[in-house]
Amino acid sequence: MTQPRTRNRTSAASGHRKEASSVQVDASPGLRELLERSEIALGESEDRFRLMADAAPVMIWMSGPDKLCTYFNRNWLNFTGRPLESEIGEGWTEGVHPDDLRQCLDRYVAAFDARQEFQLEYRLRRADGAFRWVLDTGVCRLGIDGTFEGYIGSCVDITDRKRAEMEAHDLRRELAHVSRVAALGELTASLAHEINQPLTAILSNSQAAQRLLAKAPPDLDEVREILRDIAEDDKRAVEVIRRLRALLKRENLERCRLQPNEVVEKVVQLVTHDAALRQVSLSVHLDPTLPPVIGDRVQLQQVLLNLMLNGLDAVRDVAPQDRKLKVRARKKGASTVEVAVTDSGTGIPNDAFPRIFEPFYTTKPDGLGMGLSISRSIIEAHGGRISAGNNPEGGATFCFTLPVEATS
């Protein structure tokens, strides 16, 4: 089989193409001629492709059916500042940010095996050493006969967009917090008024009764009515407090079967932005064999989100290279799943321990003191327990347990 006339052809790129066309060797002479012509045309079109690829304002790569990369355009090489020889095969992964690598490879491999188009976002080291966010889009390459030849993809630098997104995300979070504070403030004011009314009636009624009883003869019928009213007003105050409790924890849990790993992954996704922005290295340890639990997805996510955001806050004052947040889900005994969030922060002050899950208790200057207390009521409503402790190596660990789905 003749090598098509090409310039600047990389051996790797030609290698896989040859492999794809070698399937055709038994074709009839007429067909063979046709094929050879199309080979030449293909070679020419590949040359044209390379010219175009190098001129394109994006980074372009190609991989073979063995997942190994066989080609990077000039833009890519200029971006990373490395020669082609260093990038091909798996070399390019050396430039991917270590925190993004696992996710990046997992999704690449998964899409590859499923022959699906994919889009990835990860940080890639630029020639000057700075990590830039890139959006990588890959599609299947099929030969003229429909054979799978690998992938071709393009990358664009989306760091600026990403930063704007993160800022927007931060702003949203801040707004959400502010509105939560405002809502709670209003709620407190209106509840205070509603509890104050029956208390006012109770005080005035009991003082009126005292005055009535001091008279001779006392109007006992009136006193009896007063006592009945006092009991009614007491119930009214209790009802307000019950409503407050119902507000803080939704009365009806939406219970369904949940994979603990999925809950964790979802929350990790939400927190990844924040962690990167705050230069916290985030690690996730999941056990693929975890049994399902029964619970309210949103509430459990809220609890974990709360613990992880607390963790991010906790490492704020340590040096960036020491800011670590670890979330781990594992089996604990036969009937319990434990999710633990470990931070490398300053730990929990000793005097805070007894009160840390109490409502309105906070160690943060701008904290509401509601997060952990709500988390505890949610976990307990799920039949689990939540606890906190300091790590021997520094920092704190918050963990909660959930009973696994009963196998009946």
Partner 1 sequence: MKDTKPTVFLVDDDGSVRRALARLLKSAGLAVKAFASAREFLEQEVTEKTEKTGKGQVSVPSVAYCSNSFPGPGCLVLDLEMPGQSGLELQHDLTAADCRLPIIFITGHGNIPASVQAMKAGAVDFLTKPIDAQVLLDGVRRAVARDKDTREHFAERQELRDRMRTLTHREREVFALVVTGMANKRVAAALGTVEKTVKVHRGRAMRKMGAHSLAELVRMADKSTDPG
Q: Which residues contact partner 1 (rule: CB under 8 A)?
A: 189, 192-193, 196-205, 207-208, 211-212, 215, 222, 226, 229, 232-233, 236
Instruction: For partner 1, give the closer residue by CB, 197 or 279.
Output: 197
Instruction: For partner 1, give the closer residue by CB, 25 or 214.
Output: 214
Range 16-51 burial, b when 16+ CB lie within 10 A, else e: bbeebbeebeeeeeeeeeebeeebeebbeebbebbe
Q: Which two tokens stand for residue 281?
A: 């290295």
For the CB of residue 368, give the shortest distance to partner 1 in the complex, in Å: 21
DSSP H or E run through 332? strand 324-332
Question: Nearest 5°: CA angle at 42, between 47 and 44?
Answer: 35
For the CB of residue 216, give the shortest distance to partner 1 in the complex, in Å: 14
Instruction: For partner 1, give the closer residue by CB, 179 or 196.
Output: 196
Angle in degrees, 0-180, between the axes of helices 260-277 and 159-213, rounded to the nearest 10: 110
For the CB of residue 402, give the shortest distance to partner 1 in the complex, in Å: 42
Question: Nearest 5°: CA angle at 301, between 300 and 303?
Answer: 65
For the CB of residue 156, give the shortest distance to partner 1 in the complex, in Å: 56
The CA dihedral of 294, 298, 303, 304, to the nearest 10 degrees, is: 90
CA nearest neighbour of 79 among 62, 64, 96, 63 = 96
For the CB of residue 209, give the shortest distance to partner 1 in the complex, in Å: 8
CA 207 to chain centroid: 58
Instruction: For partner 1, give the closer residue by CB, 179 or 200.
Output: 200
Instruction: For partner 1, give the closer residue by CB, 160 or 225.
Output: 225
- Which residue is associated with the tokens 């003082």? 207
Instruction: For partner 1, give the closer residue by CB, 230 or 282.
Output: 230
Q: What distance in Å separates the CA atoms of residue 14 and residue 22, rounded to the nearest whole number?
A: 12
For the CB of residue 193, give the shortest distance to partner 1 in the complex, in Å: 5
